Amino acid sequence: MSSSLVVSAPGKVLLAGGYLVLDPAYSGAVVSTSSRFYTVISPGNTGRIVVRSPQFNDATWSYTWSISQTAVLPSILVSHLESLVASKNKFVHLALQKTLSLALEARGPTELGHALGTGLDITIAGDNDFYSQQDQASRDLPTSLASLAKIPPFHPTGVALTDVAKTGLGSSAALITSLVTALLVQTGLIAPDQLASASSRRFAHNVAQFVHCLAQGKVGSGFDVSAAVFGSQLYTRFNPAVLQPLMDDLTDSQSLLSVLAPENRAWDLTVAPFKLPPRTRLLLADIHAGSNTPLLVSKVLKWRSENSAAAHSLWTALDQCNTSLGQTLIRLSELYEQDQHAYIETVRWVSGLQPVQWLANPNMQQAQSTCLEAFYEAHLLTEQIRSKMREMGKLSDVEIEPDQQTRLLDASVAMAGVIGGGVPGAGGFDAVWLLVCEPPEDTPGIPPLARIERLWTSFPGIAPLLAQESNGQGVALEKLEAVPGLQAAIAAAARD
Ligand SMILES: Nc1ncnc2c1ncn2[C@@H]1O[C@H](COP(=O)(O)OP(=O)(O)OP(=O)(O)O)[C@@H](O)[C@H]1O
Ligand SMILES: C[C@@](O)(CCOP(=O)(O)O)CC(=O)O
């Protein structure tokens, strides 16, 4: 058994609700992914906090800390030790500074001193899917799910963090959530066996959300941190006023605990249950590019403020489709619970036909046709959402669904067994999503997943990602030995 503490947090795909989720009047349907970020904390002996990110070149950051007791309240200063190679990492530095300040406030200098001991060695590792693997995969393997699975876990990208091609799964939110939560456990603010409790999760959420907003320099919608903490959900944002005093506090004079404590009801986000229906699979297509989300958001919001009437009616219509899609997907899970046989037979039927043919079976029994209608409804809604997102892109002069993605999605959603798809979140050049039926193995014909993989080989620069919906419920404590490749990644980091 190792003495390392390991905390993981998932990435996200915002299926519906991009842009609208910035406004608390609307909500978004977000799926958390099986691709996760892992933070591993081990005791160190250098008197420093050393953070390593072994997938990147020159990615070791060293910090010292000093606790001052001269002021009315004790304070801690975490300082980055300049190095010739590594640039600063604002996200990591703020996670350390703010979480340790909170621990000092809540537990006092003696307890914090024990938790930091003679230093900490921290390793950060993200699943390969957070970064485009096309350069790796194309070396000697075709870009297929099987070839991706052969790339070792936490594979070095061969580049610096600033130069990597991201896929849009929310690396910074997953990283901050796993790092902040690991530090909360290390400092005794969350008991390891309590991490699954509602109160601990709210605490982890509030701290991670604060650090992420501070690192980004603004209070965003926060759906990505919420998904990293709570898992798949229907998300309605919190009022940014809760964080404003801390965001504006340049002298660190505010109490962190009073704002970030789980009891603070000013955190008014809504996290409603949501998951993908049984026997369906989320499939992502890496475009090998990545979006500049802040630029897309600023242009869309400018259009919204200058065209408020048109924007209001488009957003109202989009919201109706987004909400209905969330409800229809939830209803499919309910239909499965009510009659598994009818549901699975419907999945078999749908898997062999293009969506336009799904309803063409007059002899279907009632339970099956109810399932079928729900699948078809989900298909129509995803297409309506795409069309409205394209319209918003045209009106605001933003490439929300660029032509290249339109061609890929049109071809993909016309295939047998594909329920629907779209550009996630802000759209642009992040990995696009599809929802594909997974019939039982004895179903005749080519499974929808294999069909899509074959289709995508005719689209240059497009490759699948391994990510599926996460089985776990958001942020989680892990056993080092149980995460394939993680021990090797730490050993590699220590050798550098
Ligand atoms: N593996 C990592 N190790 C250390 N720091 C990381 C790592 N991944 C991300 N970061 C931090 O997060 C910052 C990237 O944040 P940014 O907001 O650009 O990503 P993002 O928008 O969440 O990415 P994505 O495209 O995955 O959604 C980096 O500058 C770095 O500070
Ligand atoms: C456009 C926006 O609503 C979604 C951005 O989502 P993504 O990071 O592109 O998945 C912005 C936000 O919610 O922070």
Within-domain flag for 132: yes
Q: What number does the ligand 1 atom closest to the CA of 174 have?
A: 22
Within-domain flag for 76: yes
Q: What number does the ligand 2 atom closest to the CA of 300 have?
A: 1
What is the per-residue pLDDT for 1? 46
Ligand 2 site-directed mutation target among 23, 223, 232, most atoms within 8 Å of CB: 223
**Do both 378 and 297 map to the same domain?**
yes
Q: Whose CA is nearest to atom 3 of ligand 1?
A: 53
d(CA 425, CA 428) in angstroms, rounded, equals 9
> Torsion over CA of 313, 317, 322 and 327, rounded to 10 degrees?
130
Instruction: Tell which residue, 419, 421, 427, 381, has the closest CA to residue 400.
Output: 427
Q: Whose CA is nearest to atom 25 of ligand 1?
A: 168
**Do both 321 and 188 map to the same domain?**
no
d(CA 247, CA 218) in angstroms, rounded, equals 8
The structure tokens listed for 243 are 């964080």
**Do both 33 and 133 map to the same domain?**
yes
* Ligand 2 pocket, residue 430 CB under 6 Å: yes
What is the per-residue pLDDT for 208? 98
Query: In this structure, what CATH number is given to the domain that contains residue 17?
Result: 3.30.230.10
Distance from Cα 163 to the centre of ligand 1, integer Å:
11
Q: Whose CA is nearest to atom 14 of ligand 1?
A: 172
> Torsion over CA of 151, 154, 156 and 157, rounded to 10 degrees?
80
**Do both 225 and 295 map to the same domain?**
no
Q: What number does the ligand 1 atom closest to the CA of 291 have?
A: 25
**Do both 393 and 262 map to the same domain?**
no
Distance from Cα 240 to the centre of ligand 2, integer Å:
16
* Ligand 2 pocket, residue 290 CB under 6 Å: no
**Do both 199 and 224 map to the same domain?**
yes
Within-domain flag for 374: yes
Distance from Cα 197 to the centre of ligand 2, integer Å:
27
Domain that holds residue 182: 5-274+475-495
**Do both 333 and 270 map to the same domain?**
no
Instruction: Tell which residue, 223, 219, 227, 225, has the closest CA to residue 236.
Output: 223
d(CA 284, CA 280) in angstroms, rounded, equals 13
Q: What number does the ligand 2 atom closest to the CA of 291 have?
A: 9
Within-domain flag for 215: yes
d(CA 429, CA 451) in angstroms, rounded, equals 23
- CA angle in degrees (0–180, nearest 5) for 130-468-472: 95
What is the per-residue pLDDT for 86? 67
Q: Whose CA is nearest to atom 10 of ligand 1?
A: 172
Report long-range pairs for 334-337 (Cβ below 8 Å, ≥24 apart): 335/370, 335/371, 335/374, 336/277, 336/278, 336/279
Q: Which residues line ligand 1 (CB under 6 A)?
A: 53, 89-92, 124, 126, 130, 161, 166, 168-173, 175, 290
Residue 346, φ and ψ in degrees, nearest 5: -65, -40
β pairing state of 49-52 and 120-126: parallel
For residue 375, count other CB atoms closer than 10 A to its CB. Answer: 26
Encode the chain in three state secondary structure: CCCCEEEEEEEEEEEECCCHHHCCCCCEEEEEEEEEEEEEEEECCCCCEEEECCCCCCCEEEEEEEEECCCCCCEEEEEECCCCCCCCCHHHHHHHHHHHHHHHHHHHHHHHHHHHCCCEEEEEEECHHHECCHHHHHHHCCCCHHHHHCCCCCCCCCCCHHHCCECCCCHHHHHHHHHHHHHHHHCCCCCHHHCCCHHHHHHHHHHHHHHHHHHHCCCCCCHHHHHHHHCCEEEECCCHHHCHHHHCCCCCCCCHHHHHCCCCCCCCCEEEECCCCCCEEEEEEECCCCCCHHHHHHHHHHHHHHCHHHHHHHHHHHHHHHHHHHHHHHHHHHHHHHCHHHHHHHHHHHHCCCHHHCCCCCCCCHHHHHHHHHHHHHHHHHHHHHHHHHHHHHHHCCCCCCHHHHHHHHHHHCCCCEEEEECCCCCCCCCEEEEEECCCCCCCCCCHHHHHHHHHCCCCCCEEECCCECCCCCCEEECHHHCCCHHHHHHHHHHC
Ligand 1 site-directed mutation target among 175, 286, 496, most atoms within 8 Å of CB: 175
Reading the chain (496 residues) residue by residue, the pLDDT tens digits are: 468 999 999 999 999 999 999 999 999 999 999 999 999 999 999 999 999 999 999 999 999 999 998 767 789 999 999 876 668 999 999 999 999 999 999 999 999 999 999 999 999 999 999 998 877 755 555 678 988 888 999 999 999 999 998 999 999 999 999 999 999 999 999 999 999 999 999 999 999 999 999 999 999 999 999 999 999 999 999 999 999 999 998 888 899 999 999 999 999 999 999 999 999 999 999 988 878 899 999 999 999 999 999 999 999 999 999 999 999 999 999 999 999 999 999 999 999 999 999 998 778 899 999 999 999 999 999 999 999 999 999 999 999 999 999 999 999 999 999 999 999 999 999 999 999 999 999 999 999 999 999 999 999 889 999 999 998 889 999 999 999 999 999 888 777 6
Query: In this structure, what CATH number is given to the domain that contains residue 426?
Result: 3.30.70.890
**Do both 347 and 237 map to the same domain?**
no
* Ligand 2 pocket, residue 6 CB under 6 Å: no
**Do both 306 and 343 map to the same domain?**
yes
* Ligand 2 pocket, residue 426 CB under 6 Å: yes
Within-domain flag for 90: yes
Distance from Cα 100 to the centre of ligand 2, integer Å:
29
> Which pTM does this prediction carry?
0.96
Number of domains in the chain: 2
Within-domain flag for 21: yes
**Do both 415 and 295 map to the same domain?**
yes
| CB 224, CB 474: distance < 8 Å | no
d(CA 34, CA 471) in angstroms, rounded, equals 7
Ligand 2 site-directed mutation target among 22, 301, 392, 401, most atoms within 8 Å of CB: 22
Ligand 2 site-directed mutation target among 13, 21, 401, most atoms within 8 Å of CB: 21
Within-domain flag for 424: yes
Distance from Cα 21 to the centre of ligand 2, integer Å:
8
**Do both 322 and 213 map to the same domain?**
no
What is the per-residue pLDDT for 141? 58
Q: Whose CA is nearest to atom 9 of ligand 1?
A: 172
Sign of the dihedral through C-alpha 98, 103, 104, 109:
negative
Within-domain flag for 470: no
* Ligand 2 pocket, residue 28 CB under 6 Å: no
* Ligand 2 pocket, residue 293 CB under 6 Å: yes
**Do both 312 and 426 map to the same domain?**
yes
Q: Is this prediction's ipTM beyond 0.90?
A: yes
Instruction: Specify the amino acid at residue 194.
Output: Q
